[in-house]
Chains A and B, each alone.
Chain A
Amino acid sequence: MSPINMLNWWQWTIMAAVPPLIVMLYFLKLRRVPVAVPSTYLWKKTIEDLHVNSIWQRLRKNLLLLLQLLVVLLLALACLRPGFRGQESIGGRSIFMIDNSSSMQSTDVEVSRLAAAKREALRMIEGLRSGDVGMVLAFSDRADVQQGFTTDKRKLRAAVEAIQPTNRTTDLNEALRAAAGLANPGRTSQIEDINDIQVAEAVPASIYILSDGGFGPPQVDLGNLSAEYIAIGTEAPNNVGILAFTADRNLEKQDDVEAFARLQNFGIAPMTFNATLKLNDELVDASQVELAGGEAKGVSFSLNQVTEGRLTLELDVVDDFALDNRAFAGLDPPRELEVVLVTEGNTALEAALATPQVKSMALIRRIDPASLSTAENQQLATAGQVDLFIYDQCSPEKLPNANTLFLGAIPPGDQWQAGPSAGPLFIIDSNRSHPVMQYVDMGAVLIAEGQALTLPPSGTELLRTDRGILMAIAPREAYQDAVLSMPFVKRTESGATPTTNWPVLRSFPVFIFNALEYLGGAVSTASAKTIRPGQPAVLSLANRYEKIRIEGPSERKNIIERAGQPKLIYTQTEDLGFYQTKPADGERLLQLFTVNLFSERESNIAVAPDVEIGSVTVAANEARKDIVRVETWRWLLALALVGLCVEWYVYTRRIAV
């Protein structure tokens, strides 16, 4: 207690005279109203006990007097302005930014770093003065405003308690932008512009970043925000993590799989541990790894006779950060496409579709153009079971419910138009960035005859000649139509004449393979796609599945309607592990993808001694606390008021009969 004298000596004298005055008032003789009664006999007997001789006895048990003295005492104490030393955060506006990224799940401090950060934040909230406003914000690679500016400490505490750990990486940019936007609402308005409506004036605020500092330097201008970095965690933790893990099929032998992992020891002490590889939860290989402090090493495993499956690499080590001790890699099942080739016969095309690569990927069915109108083939076109129709120099009456590739013909309808045949054509541009034209070298291709195409408005040009567009692709509802307006063979009465040398060039089977892969929706990469927690997964799936079921590691099954989208974007990827994509009503595995941490920044859990925010370097520090007085006179005044109420109650109860 450190009292501050609020009164002068004469004021204190008056204050000190009040209690004796009250006591004296009790000895004053009352002017009583005379009332005649038949006899005072019984009254005298009644008040016999109340008649006392000593003044102290008179004061004894006089509740009113005691209450009045208590009230005066409390008022005098309130005037004394008692207080005690308290620790308090600076400023009237505080923003508590709590890191809930994966590295905050490290257990190098009690329970976890997140728990420690929450404890620290709660302690700081306790130190807020009444009237100070605070805001709670949780951040990983995105920012969540848990509680906007409020003076209600209870809400702030609840917001801090509600923060849950995530497996995400860390990015302070978004959090700082959110904080700056909320703290400085007027920053976007132009002060000079008289037409601009000025919003509330920016108020300085303090940001408290409760984190382990595992984030890149954010490029945000803090404006009038002052940042404090409160480091959570220890500087020399113990951690070994997997930074990368892939499994690739041998290109020559599809059944052979090479798994490769990159491991790093982020601690100082050398570590020796086993890395075990599991295929579909069964141990298939293990390797002892020895890593010196700070050393990184690659580990590889060879697997035979594996076509598909879920590979899990586990490090048998106990360290402070468990999330990066497991990594997942999926071997996608070989995707079998259903492709219908409508041709009268095209040796070059059939040869390109007969390569082992294509055979492993697609099931090719050949139909004669004359039989397109049969009921069976009509059914095939409308059922949506086929991934790709290739029309070679022919065109159906109605486009099928599938992707199409037209060779030397154009789709029916008004969308596509072809000019008159002309030749020779010289290729002047090829859209190599498009997956269909990837790796396709058109330099040596000679074209004797072709037509210039007119595309639908949303079409993409793939190949341009001096006479116009030769090849293009355009979306049609959920499907895509690719058109190459160049026949490979010109059929005349005298026989078939080749119109191009492309089929004999190496680029042709590549083009066909690309077209199958892209238009058929096949995924050819051996290792399943891997993403970081929280990132969206883009899935290319066969068109025929309208509803897709995705089974994540948390046993949760999500059924998603594609709504005609050729690509499916799945965002619920918070948990680490395997995600299996299956038809909603089937068990066939369509696609596998994995969610891995694979972040050196997150795995390197040593606390950063300082962080850079914009151009400012903020050193790790405990929250700056000012030694302030915490006033208690208000409470004393409130107590005096309560005492006064009680006194009034006692008085009225006493005189009431």
Chain B
Amino acid sequence: MAQPTAPNDLLPPPLLARLERMELVSRKVFRGRLKGERRSKRKGQSVEFADFRSYVPGDDLRFVDWNLYARLDKLYLKLFLEEEDLHVYFLVDSSPSMDFGEPTKFFAAKQIAAALAFVGMCRGDRVRIEFLGSENRSSPVLRGRSQLWRMTDFCESAKPDQLFDFTDAIKRFCLRAAGRGIVVLITDLMDKNGYESALRLLVGQQMDVFVLHMLSPEEMKPELAGDLKLVDCEDQDEAEISVSSAVIKNYQATLASFIDQVRRFCAQRDMTYLLTRSDQGADVLVGQYLRERGLVR
């Protein structure tokens, strides 16, 4: 199922050109470390006025509002909002179930992660891509357009992993990434132990979480017929089934109910849930689908 990918397959030049004009959108305002292009909660030296406060000894006299002193005979300091950078994490599920579809869900996930990472990098955000697996494989922090090739090399070298515990992998990420920011989790959520505890961990980090639920067309509309033995590619679990139109209908109802359950879970926890198809293509997905749904602008 897995397909070798050429470097240009991941982010073709026309897509890059489009991505350069985009920007990642966070619904929360976070603190950053370096000056960036985003407003921060931290007061600082931008042109945007934030508040006044009483002068205390040691304050920079350049920020004293002398007009106010002349009027009130008291020293007040003008506070300005600091413009800072943003932490953006892309978590890509590299479980064997992601290695399905045409193209594979894993490839589509990598492509979306790379594309969104590039958007963040162009805007001066601190971007990190992490492939969740039995051992999480994390990229260094990437910032600036010049890091593009590092990022693409890292993504392309990633391969689907063996079976691992999804919750553990998220836990490992949370331990390492203490800061706040945006988390874009790209996964098919097909973990038999459930996805809820993993997502709860992300919520606990008080991050702005985007869950990109990646499904292949074969999962959404299976084209199976006859008496089959379905073998789970992760744990080799078997399910005997005689496929009929009624069974297919039942499956689709189950899938719809599953999606609805995830959607409600996310909505209740202030996470953004987005259902994506692996056969949609990164340009359509990022340029149109995610834009319409507010992840980028």
Q: Which A residues contact B (CB, under 8 angstroms)?
A: 30-47, 49-50, 653-657
Contacts and interface: CB of A to CB of B under 8 A. Distances in A.
Contacts of B100: 37-38
Interface string B216-252: 1011000111111111111001111111111110110
A50 B192 CA distance: 20
Q: Which of A36, A39, A655 has the most chain B CB within a 10 Å cutoff?
A: A39
B205 to A, nearest CB: 26
B254 A42 contact: yes
Contact of B250 (A31, A40, A46): A46
A1 B238 CA distance: 55
Contact of B237 (A40, A42, A653, A656): A40
Contact of A37 (B230, B248, B258): B230
Interface in B159-183: none
A657 B243 contact: yes
Contacts of B75: none
A50 B228 CA distance: 14
B219 to A, nearest CB: 6
Contacts of B224: 35, 657
A39 B234 contact: yes
A64 to B, nearest CB: 11
B231 A43 contact: no
B251 A39 contact: no
A38 B188 contact: yes
B97 interface: yes
Contacts of A37: 100, 218, 230-233
B232 A39 contact: yes
B224 to A, nearest CB: 7
Q: List the 5 shortest-distance A-B pairs measured between CB atoms, nearest first.
A: A39-B190, A38-B97, A32-B229, A38-B100, A40-B232
Contacts of A35: 224, 228-231
A657 B243 CA distance: 8
A162 to B, nearest CB: 54
Given A38-B97, A38-B219, A657-B248, A33 B254 contact: no
A177 B241 CA distance: 77
Contacts of B218: 37-38
Contacts of A43: 230, 239, 241, 251
A41 B231 CA distance: 11
A42 B229 CA distance: 14
B102 to A, nearest CB: 12
A31 B98 CA distance: 29
A34 B236 CA distance: 11
Contact of A33 (B191, B226, B247, B251): B226
Interface in B195-217: 216
B61 interface: no
Contacts of A657: 223-225, 243-245, 248
A42 B258 contact: yes
Contact of B245 (A45, A47, A654): A654
Interface string B239-278: 1111111111011001100100000000000000000000
Contacts of B241: 43, 46-47
A39 B229 contact: no
Contact of B192 (A39, A46, A654): A39
Contacts of B229: 32-35
Contacts of A50: 247
Q: Which of A33, A34, A35 has the most chain B CB within a 10 Å cutoff?
A: A35
B245 A41 contact: no
Interface in B93-109: 97-98, 100-101, 105
A653 B243 CA distance: 11
Given A40-B231, A43-B251, 8 more contacts: A35-B231, A40-B232, A40-B238, A42-B255, A46-B247, A47-B247, A657-B243, A657-B248
Contacts of B238: 34, 40
Nearest to B250: A46
Q: Would you call the interface of chain A mostly helix, strand, loop, or mixed?
A: mixed
A42 B245 contact: no
Contacts of B248: 657
Given A32-B240, A653-B245, A657-B223, A41 B190 contact: yes
14 contacts: A30-B242, A32-B227, A33-B227, A34-B230, A35-B230, A41-B192, A43-B230, A46-B247, A46-B250, A47-B241, A47-B250, A657-B224, A657-B243, A657-B248
Q: Which of A41, A47, A49 has the most chain B CB within a 10 Å cutoff?
A: A41
Contacts of A42: 190, 219, 251, 254-255, 258
Contact of B239 (A33, A38, A40, A655): A40
Given A33-B228, A39-B190, A655-B225, A44 B239 contact: yes
B270 to A, nearest CB: 26
A648 to B, nearest CB: 15
B225 A38 contact: no
Given A30-B227, A33-B228, A46-B254, A39 B245 contact: no
Contact of B251 (A32, A34, A36, A46): A46
A240 B247 CA distance: 85
Contacts of A38: 97-98, 100-101, 105, 188, 190, 216, 218-219, 232-234
Contacts of B98: 38
Q: Which of B97, B218, B240, B245 has the most chain A CB within a 10 Å cutoff?
A: B240
Contacts of A45: 254, 258
Contacts of B228: 32-35
Nearest to A43: B239
Q: Which of A32, A34, A35, A40 has the most chain B CB within a 10 Å cutoff?
A: A40
A654 B244 CA distance: 5
A41 B100 CA distance: 15
A33 B243 CA distance: 11
B48 to A, nearest CB: 48
Nearest to B221: A657
Nearest to A45: B254
A36 B99 CA distance: 12
A39 B192 CA distance: 9
Contacts of A46: 241, 247, 250-251, 254
Contacts of B223: 657
B231 A34 contact: yes
A653 B247 CA distance: 12
B163 to A, nearest CB: 11
A549 B11 CA distance: 108
A45 B190 CA distance: 12
A655 B244 contact: yes
A573 to B, nearest CB: 76
Nearest to A32: B229
Contacts of B101: 38
A42 B100 CA distance: 15
A42 B239 CA distance: 10
Interface string B89-130: 000000001101100010000000000000000000000000
A36 B233 contact: yes
A655 B247 contact: no
A34 B229 CA distance: 4
Contacts of A39: 97, 188, 190, 192, 232-234
A36 B244 contact: no
Contacts of B231: 34-37, 40
B165 to A, nearest CB: 15
Nearest to B244: A654
A131 B242 CA distance: 50
A30 B229 CA distance: 10
Contacts of A654: 244-246
Nearest to B238: A40
Given A36-B233, A42-B255, A655 B250 contact: no
B120 to A, nearest CB: 29
Contacts of A41: 190-192, 232
B164 to A, nearest CB: 14
Contacts of B219: 38, 42
Nearest to A657: B225
A656 B101 CA distance: 23
A31 B226 CA distance: 11
